[in-house]
Chains A and B, each alone.
Chain A
Amino acid sequence: MTNATTAKREQLKPPISNVGIIGWLKSNLFSTWYNSLLSVIMLGMLALMLPPVFQWAFVDSLWYSSAEACRNIEGACWSVVPHNFRFIILGFFPEGQEWRPILAMVLLLGLVIYSKERSRWKKSLAWLWLVNLVVMGTLMYGGVLGMPVVETSQWSGLPLTLVLSFFGMVVAYPMGIFLALGRRSKMPAIKTLCVVYIEMIRGVPLISLLFMSSIMFPLFLPEGVTIDKVLRALIAIILFTAAYIAEVVRGGLQAMPRGQYEAADSLGLNYSQTMRLIILPQALKIVIPPSVGILLSVFKDTSLVVIIALYDVLKTTMVTLSNPEWAGYSKESYIFLALLYFAFCYAMSSYSRRLERELHTGH
């Protein structure tokens, strides 16, 4: 009987106006009269603006020339980037030693890419990271295997940006989780400590923390004791980020239904097991979007270290532009820099979306 009815029912195709390019245009650009109006205005503006930009960037431009040749053209002088590429990316790292920071960055990015797959998140991966960190540190600092010592004051450019942002995130995230748990603790001393810390840090701008770490902090140290400048900046970034992470994670913890705690309790799990196995995996998944927001701003905020005279990739670009030979080409340099930042940030945010999808368990 069922066969008869299905056979009778003809498979209708959707009306032609709803599919294909015409359908797409109709539903997305011209669905109502004001949408049509907006579409027409936008298309008109694009038609006015795009050709000159295209002309400047691609037609009248020079990609690999001397600075002199650039003086005579109307378009973009992209040559500023390849000519100064070594300095923008590696800064003051000593000549002849370039392979060391490059290899260190390749190792870091390679391991980050390797760690993307959740099936590889095992104990062995943690060991791999630890070994890799030691290798990267050795490559950068040197002093063994015939590699001359490179003081951290000479670390600059992209390696410095990556060191500050990567370690800033990796150390700040667990610290933020502990702060969030502490803020929800039933023990008044721990709770107060965490609240005071979080609110104090969130109450000051990152710049002032960086100033404090680089100018005020050394005054309190006994004579002869110095703490590395990069390390001090890193600590300031970590302290700052952890406070923000803590509040985001706390939001996730508050979103957890009480039944989850009760179910874990009723199985006899203790506090740390409940948190580690039940609450945090779910809470952290909820707060992936805002966490990634914070991590992205950490990555970009590392450029603030210019004010304490560290040469991150933004500062090395600015130094390039202060060279009279290349002085006029800030547009091109900053566009390149923007694309560099964008590449890292976009990679992070698209990975976070993928992680969200993978962790979704249909509830």
Chain B
Amino acid sequence: MNDSQTNISSADTVQPIIKIAGMHKWYGDFHVLSDINLQVLPQEKIVICGPSGSGKSTLIRCINRLEEHQRGQIIVNGTELSNDIKNIEKVRAEVGMVFQHFNLFPHLTIVDNLTLGPIWVRKTPKKEAEELAMMYLEKVQIAEQAKKFPGQLSGGQQQRVAIARSLCMNPQVMLFDEPTSALDPEMIKEVLDVMIDLAEEGMTMLVVTHEMGFAKSVADRVMFMDEGEIVEQNSPDVFFDNPQHERTKLFLSQIL
């Protein structure tokens, strides 16, 4: 099972930006992730799907150490994740994350939400950080809301701000943890459009989502997880038209 990804990364000269080898994670006695092996190349877009409780969110949360793994290795951009807090902060600065519930800072204006990381982590001068923030707000088409507070925005707008906030750190990798699951249906598209733009610009992306249309049109690889294991991964054409495992077939029959 674990050898399957080697044939995808055919370009041997390109170093993977994320390397996960033999990784296990437990919550107490519960074995939530079991023997995860995954290599992500720069600019690759991976969509992770699977039933709830399959460990897909936990997997991407391990990549920026919001969750601790107990065994195996995770190397992000050349830095191995361990208990060393300096390394963890280094990785987090390079890895952007978008949450299901946006998690904007409600006491700060939109523009202050965006400049926080650049100013305090990257030590960018305030004025420069604000220009950067406005640039990304324009990119997600929300610049006119810069002086408002998150509580005054709709869910879709908040999620676009959250994406812009991550982009302000100029990340090497973007992680998306069910970015559209908490949104009203009519707002899903505006967020997906931003993500598609991002993908077209060549961002490395790991996306946990149930949006199969997005997976088909954007993903280089679709991964199916169940019970803490990577059951199957393949290019979207193969994955959707010709799934290999029974569990994958069952899952796809339920959601498509």
Contact = CB atoms under 8 A, between A and B. Distances in A.
A260 B149 contact: no
Nearest to A362: B151
Given A266-B97, A270-B89, A260 B116 contact: no
Interface string B22-47: 00000000000000000000000000
Given A268-B92, A278-B105, A281-B107, A363 B117 contact: no
B79 interface: no
B137 interface: no
Given A266-B92, A267-B169, A363-B150, A259 B107 contact: no
B253 to A, nearest CB: 33
B104 to A, nearest CB: 7
Interface in B57-108: 64-66, 85, 89-90, 92-93, 95-97, 99, 101, 103-107
Contacts of B150: 361, 363
Given A267-B93, A268-B89, A270-B89, A277 B120 contact: yes
A267 B107 contact: no
Given A269-B120, A362-B149, A263 B104 contact: yes
Chain A binding surface, main DSSP class: helix
Interface string A350-363: 00000000010111
Nearest to A273: B120
Most buried by B among A268, A269, A282: A268
Interface string B106-147: 110000000011001100000000000000000000000000
Interface string B209-250: 000000000000000000000000000000000000000000
B106 A361 contact: yes
A98 interface: no
B169 A268 contact: yes
Given A361-B149, A362-B152, A266 B95 contact: yes
A133 B166 CA distance: 44
A259 B149 contact: no
Contacts of B169: 267-268
Contacts of B95: 266
B101 A260 contact: no
A262 interface: yes
A282 B107 CA distance: 7
Nearest to A361: B149
A281 B97 CA distance: 23
Contacts of A278: 105
Chain B binding surface, main DSSP class: mixed
A267 B116 contact: yes
B121 A267 contact: yes
A285 B105 CA distance: 14
A265 interface: yes
Contacts of A359: 107
Given A362-B149, A362-B152, A268 B121 contact: yes
B106 A267 contact: no
A257 B89 CA distance: 21
A101 B116 CA distance: 45
Give the top 10 A-B pairs by smallest Cβ distance, nearest first.
A363-B151, A268-B93, A263-B103, A259-B103, A361-B149, A266-B97, A267-B117, A268-B92, A362-B151, A268-B121
Interface of B: 64-66, 85, 89-90, 92-93, 95-97, 99, 101, 103-107, 116-117, 120-121, 149-152, 165-166, 169
Given A268-B90, A282-B107, A285-B107, 20 more contacts: A259-B103, A263-B99, A263-B103, A263-B104, A263-B105, A266-B66, A266-B92, A267-B117, A268-B89, A268-B92, A268-B121, A269-B116, A270-B89, A273-B120, A277-B120, A281-B107, A282-B105, A282-B106, A361-B106, A363-B151
24 contacts: A259-B101, A262-B66, A262-B97, A262-B103, A263-B97, A263-B103, A264-B105, A266-B95, A267-B121, A267-B165, A267-B169, A268-B89, A269-B89, A269-B116, A269-B121, A270-B89, A273-B120, A273-B121, A277-B120, A282-B105, A282-B107, A361-B150, A362-B152, A363-B106
Interface of A: 257, 259-260, 262-270, 273, 277-278, 281-282, 285, 359, 361-363
